[in-house]
Amino acid sequence: MEAAGRLIGNWSNGVAIDLHAAYEFLRVKGQVKVWAKFVWNPCLIPKHSFLLWLCARGRLLTRDRLLFLDIDRACPFCCVVEESSDHLFFLCSFNRAVWLQIKVWFGMSRVMSSISSAIKWISKDAKGSSWICKVKRIALACSVYQIWGARNCLIFYGIRPTVEGLVCRIKTFVYKVMFTMYPQVLIHFEALASDRSLFVGFGLVPGYARCTLYIF
Ligand SMILES: [Zn+2]
């Protein structure tokens, strides 16, 4: 009782109780996951964070996890290998081609074979709070989200995407987020994009990209 009294005394400054300290002492603490800081970073769109969180925890309902359903388990893109999270996002020939273009866009060369290795590597490579670090994190989260969306469209609506179309969609989304967050770094961001075909694809010239992209 005496020890408990002393403990509670430590939380109090004589006027009020420090609820944060009390909560931190009482709550059950789990092991901190390496991906948690990345996934719940405020620069990411919540729906992207949520999908990334499911993916990082291995909870995404890819076909290898739907054992209770009598369905074709092949990857909808290549129709050769069983669909799993790692295969779908990183090993499938179709999505590897998508990643290749996104990585070239950002000057990344590292081979990524799973969501945890991708998060680990980008966390190391894009450490800090500068816009250039944020854009790499946004690109990873956005790519995972768009690939998952394309996979669902293919399965449920039979709409087969093209590599160029999907890459263009990812780039546009990344631009939208970045222009919202950092409209003042437009010129630098354009310089980052080695693939100027993005602008050509939208009928844009770099100097006018900002006002046009606000339309989306
Ligand atoms: Zn595949």
Domain ranges of the chain: 1-30, 32-213
Q: Which residue has the higher pLDDT, 70 or 203?
A: 70
pTM of the model: 0.74
87 CA from centroid of ligand 1 (Å) = 6
How far does the centroid of ligand 1 lie from the alpha carbon of residue 46, in Å? 27
Question: Ligand 1: distance of its center to the CA of 44 in Å?
Answer: 27
Residue found under tokens 């000057």: 107
pLDDT(37) > 50: yes
The rounded mean pLDDT for the chain is 79
Instruction: Evaluate whether 38 touches 123 at the Cβ level (below 8 Å).
Output: yes
What is the distance in A from the centroid of ligand 1 to the CA of 187?
A: 37
Distance 86 CA to ligand 1 centre (A): 10
60 is written with which tokens? 């995404």
For 70-126, what is each residue's pLDDT tens digit?
888 999 999 999 999 999 998 999 999 999 988 888 777 778 888 888 888 888 877
With beta carbons less than 8 A apart as the criterion, state whether 108 and 125 touch: yes
CA 137 to centroid of ligand 1, rounded, Å? 24
Task: Check if the beta carbon of residue 62 is closer than 8 Å to that of residue 52.
Answer: no
Q: How far is the CA of 57 from the centre of ligand 1 (A)?
A: 21
Q: What spacing in Å lies between the alpha carbon of 153 and ligand 1's midpoint? A: 15
Rounded CA separation 8/19 (Å): 10
Distance from the CA of 38 to the center of ligand 1, in angstroms? 26
Long-range pairs for 106-110: beta carbons < 8 A, 24 or more residues apart: 106/135, 106/136, 106/139, 106/192, 107/194, 108/136
Q: How far does the centroid of ligand 1 lie from the alpha carbon of residue 126, in Å?
A: 28
pLDDT band at residue 188, thresholds of 50, 70 and 90? very low
Measured in Å, residue 83 CA sits from the centre of ligand 1 at: 7
Per-residue confidence (pLDDT) for residue 213, from 0 to 100: 34
Give the CA angle between residues 161, 179, 148 to the nearest 5°.
Answer: 25
